[in-house]
Amino acid sequence: MKKFLALTAAAILALSVGCGKEEKPKEEGKPAAATEKKEDDNTQKITLLNFEGELIGQLREYHAPFNAYAAGAAKEGEEAPPKEELDKLKADAKAAGEKAVSEIPSVEVPSDLSEDHQTKIKAALEELKKSYEAKVAGLEDEAKATEANKLFTAFEEKLNTIHEDLKLIPGKFINELQ
């Protein structure tokens, strides 16, 4: 649902940019460079939001087994799942985390973004990879789970520096995965 909302927002932004061009005649005193800069910013906004929507979709796949394991492990008493079921959930979470660690480095960064933004995304993806490495280790060690949360926050912060550059609202990506 949130991916749909992000794509809808991007489509509305694209439509408003396109409609804005048709309705307003070009002003004589406005420099062409300023107009091109605004159009470039809008293109980068759309590209970034589409990239993040696709990335969040991929992260949901990785994150779902961790959520299922956490939910099972949190149950107590008669509601607690049998040990075998809990072990299976844990193994599924570990496999999903290892898959994330192996696939995140191959995530394609959009070439439509500026060099600076591409560099920031690559650094953010490295933090994301480390986060999943720590999540896998956190299945056995609670301190590593806390480290995973800190690394995911660092991933969010790095992506949000691009949001600031493009004057977008900062994202709370962890909320998309819960």
Q: Per-residue pLDDT tens for 15-58?
A: 565 555 544 445 455 555 555 555 566 888 899 999 999 999 99
- Taking the C-alpha atoms of residue 130 and residue 15, their distance in angstroms, rounded to an integer, is 38
Query: What share of the chain in percent tops pLDDT 90?
Result: 44
pLDDT at 91: 92
Q: Is 77's pLDDT higher than 70? A: yes
Residue 120 has what pLDDT? 94
User: 177 to each of 45, 80, 101, 136, 170, how far by Cα in Å?
Assistant: 22, 23, 17, 16, 16
What's the average model confidence in pLDDT over 130-138? 92
Side chain identity at 130, as an amino acid letter?
A: K
Average pLDDT value for residue range 122-128: 94
Q: What is the mean pLDDT of the chain?
A: 81
- Rounded Cα distance between 110 and 108, Å, is 6
| 131 has a pLDDT exceeding 80 | yes
